[in-house]
Structure 1
Amino acid sequence: MSDELQRIMAIDDPYLLLREVTTRLADAQQEVTELARLRRRVVQDLHAQGLSYAQIAEKAGLSRGRIHQIRHTGPAPEGVFLG
């Protein structure tokens, strides 16, 4: 368990706890979105360099189907929001 999670779980005031949890969830969701975007970009770049999905999957330790799914779903790499 992270120190940040332990800090939040120790909050006694329910309203402050609700605010902190809501803020942390929003931050975590943004991070997950950006990581998914980065992962998709890497798969696209490798595929554009001529590697097959099977080759990418083997080197990444994932299935070919999962690599194909990453390539074709999720947030577009060019859609990053820097706001």
Structure 2
Amino acid sequence: MVNHTGYSSSQVRRQFRQSFQITPSAYRKKRRLERAAVLLALTPLNIAQIAICCGYHNHSSFSRAFQHRYQLRPRNFRNH
């Protein structure tokens, strides 16, 4: 499939990875978790609300991804 730039999606993904040394999906996940960390630190939103705000469909998948990135559960990160 060709997008409006004339490049296929695989070409765009490959160029992104060559330029930034990270895949687009890994970058998106990284940014979502960084946003979640800010929300945990600065807002009273509960963890389920933060998960939804950051694009996760459920609390458990968000918690697993967050713990993998920060080596802390979201609740522990907030209380840290």
TM-score (norm 1): 0.48
The structure showing larger relative contact order (alpha-carbon pairs under 8 Å, at least 6 residues apart) is: 1
Q: TM-score, normalised by structure 2?
A: 0.50
